[in-house]
Amino acid sequence: MMQDWFRKAKLGIFIHYGIYAVGDVSESWSFHNGNISYEDYMKQCDGFTASKFDARAWADLFRRAGAQYVVMTSKHHDGVALFDTKYSDLNVLKKTPAKRDIVKEYTEAVREAGMKVGIYFSLIDWSDPRYRTVYPEGEKPEDHLKDVFATPAGGPEDPEKWQEFLEFNNNQLRELMTNYGTVDLLWFDGDWERSAAQWKAKEFKAYLESLNPEVIVNSRLQGYGDYETPEQGIPVIGPKGVWEFCTTINDSWGYRPSDNDYKTSRQIIRMFCDCLTLGGKMLLDVGPKEDGTLDERQVKVLEDLGQFIHDNEEAIYETGKGLSYNQFLGGSTLSEDKKTIYLFVYDKPAENLCVKGIKTPVKRVSVLHTGEELTFSYTGALPWSGIPGTLWIRADEMEMHPLTTVLKVELEGEITYNLGHGEVVTNND
């Protein structure tokens, strides 16, 4: 069920941690897609040590990055649990030298650092033979001759086994939701391989809420989730309702040493500002190495994001959706009392910045991180006809923030708009 803390949250950190960090392969998909054999993929278990894993250090970094919640993989599509489960031996305590309950340390540290606890759980389990016992609803066996990890691959269905699998998922989720204190958010993945009816999604959701009535569930539950999760491609128009954009810092969810395609801190900050402008939030992914440490390039992005947020907090946390891009060619947010607009300026202006369609007169414009006041003027205003004109802010000499500059535009009252077009002037006094 949607909760106020989540509706207001702006930044979460996503963690894809698992045995896939050992080699140089993608999480689960690598064996599913035949880039590595299942056996070689699973051999990564022997190299998963978590030898430098320090959940408190992670939590401290995420807190400094400005995150309000964290979501970590408890089990990806490969079925390897990062927690102590009595329902399967395929877990890092039994199958890897790590021998640690990663979820336990993670949940404790995140909670202790004052952030909300999220758990990613893959509905799909490509390691469990009970999973590949039915076909996606309405599809024929012939469509799945090669789908060896996901379906009976051309063979007959076994609905009883499927039912056992659903119970297995329920059991593991009960462990996750009762052995580690309150889980605030469940982040499911992989619902696409079965229908709502096959997942028994309605009963499943009720079951989860019976374990914690306040738990929030992401959208990947065939229509039974609480909010949308656009992935990798930043939305151009924000989805309806509460939403969270998830993205990687390079191109991989988990750690891959060969992936050097990193986004810059400024790109990530700009994506974050885009989410805020459109009324959403960002879930930024890190992929820790098998020993539990983070690539320094990922740490740098988190630290820079944290610096930007720290220096401009009032433009971020207690705010809502900003102006449309037709009104301001950049990002923006609005204070909760709707009397202040915050403008995100990514590049050094050559002269004036302009804002259109705001009827409420402006009282003061300043640079948020320095307090420097900027001059402003209007053109095209026709007060007698309600045309507010264009607000011009002289911004070429201001001192820029090293990452992204925020301008604070204080209004005389609550914001009101005129988003129409100019009218014919019938009186030129």
User: What is the C-alpha separation between 79 and 177, in angstroms, rounded?
Assistant: 18
Q: How far is the CB of 231 from ligand GLC (least distance, A)?
A: 5
Q: How far is the CB of 17 from ligand GLC (least distance, A)?
A: 11
**Nearest Cα to 191, choosing from 167, 166, 172, 213?**
166
**Nearest Cα to 300, choosing from 313, 289, 286?**
286
**Nearest Cα to 322, choosing from 346, 355, 352, 347?**
355
Q: How far is the CB of 303 from ligand GLC (least distance, A)?
A: 23
Contacts of residue 4, Cβ cutoff 8 Å, sequence gap at least 6: none
The 3-state DSSP class for residue 58 equals helix
Q: How far is the CB of 292 from ligand GLC (least distance, A)?
A: 19
φ/ψ (deg, to 5) at 318: -95, 50
User: What is the C-alpha separation between 258 and 295, in angstroms, rounded?
Assistant: 12
Q: Which is nearer to ligand GLC, 279 or 287 (CB)?
A: 287
Q: What is the token pair recorded at 159?
A: 């609905």
User: What is the C-alpha separation between 390 and 7, in angstroms, rounded?
Assistant: 32
Q: How far is the CB of 222 from ligand GLC (least distance, A)?
A: 14
Q: What is the token pair recorded at 160?
A: 């009883």
Q: How far is the CB of 29 from ligand GLC (least distance, A)?
A: 6
Cα 174-180-185 angle, rounded to 5 deg? 75
Q: Which is nearer to ligand GLC, 24 or 231 (CB)?
A: 231
Q: Which is nearer to ligand GLC, 83 or 344 (CB)?
A: 83
* Binding-site ranges for ligand GLC (CB under 6 A): 16, 27, 29, 189, 231, 246, 253
Q: How far is the CB of 139 from ligand GLC (least distance, A)?
A: 19
Output the CA–CA distances (angstroms, integers) from residue 222 to 191, 227, 358, 372, in the order listed: 6, 12, 40, 50
- How many C-beta atoms lie closer than 10 Å to residue 396's C-beta? 11
φ/ψ (deg, to 5) at 382: -125, 80
Q: How far is the CB of 18 from ligand GLC (least distance, A)?
A: 10
Q: How far is the CB of 59 from ligand GLC (least distance, A)?
A: 21
User: What is the C-alpha separation between 133 and 149, in angstroms, rounded?
Assistant: 10
What are the contacts of 195-203 at 24+ separation with CB within 8 A? 195/136, 195/137, 195/138, 195/222, 196/221, 196/222, 196/223, 196/224, 197/137, 198/134, 198/136, 198/137, 198/162, 199/123, 199/166, 200/166
Q: Which is nearer to ligand GLC, 72 or 365 (CB)?
A: 72
How far does CA 27 lie from the centroid of its chain? 18
Q: How far is the CB of 315 from ligand GLC (least distance, A)?
A: 27
Partnered with residue 81 across adjacent β-strands are 75, 91
